[in-house]
Amino acid sequence: MEVKIGIQNAVRELTVETDESAEAVEKLVADAISGEGVFTLADTKGRRVIVPSAKLAYVEIGHGTVGQVGFRG
């Protein structure tokens, strides 16, 4: 699952590949925002991304583009 995280006052978004389901990621975001804590997400390699919930601009949850190679023309 590909998750894109927009952070306030940051030029680039973070893109994280995770094994979590869309529902689980959505719950993590909701819990972080309601508790005014931090949003923590583990990627597929075991690394953790931690963002203060007050700095979240958006979280886009979608499927990755696994196996897509080349150009369409």
The pTM (predicted TM-score) of the whole model is 0.79
Instruction: Write out the two tokens for 42.
Output: 């583990």
Q: Does residue 21 form part of some domain? A: yes
For 23-57, the pLDDT digits (tens) are 999 999 999 999 888 999 999 999 999 999 999 99
Q: State the Cα–Cα distance between residues 73 and 13, nearest whole angstrom.
A: 28
Q: Does residue 17 form part of some domain? A: yes
Q: State the Cα–Cα distance between residues 58 and 8, nearest whole angstrom.
A: 9
Range of the domain at 15: 2-62
Please provide the average confidence, as pLDDT, over all residues in the chain: 87
53-71: average pLDDT = 76
Task: Tally the domains of the chain.
Answer: 1
Is the pLDDT at 15 greater than 80? The verdict is yes
Q: Does residue 31 form part of some domain? A: yes
Is the CB of residue 14 less than 8 Å from the CB of residue 25?
no
Is the CB of residue 56 less than 8 Å from the CB of residue 39?
yes
Residue 36 pLDDT: 80
Partnered with residue 59 across adjacent β-strands are 5
Q: Does residue 19 form part of some domain? A: yes
Q: Does residue 69 form part of some domain? A: no
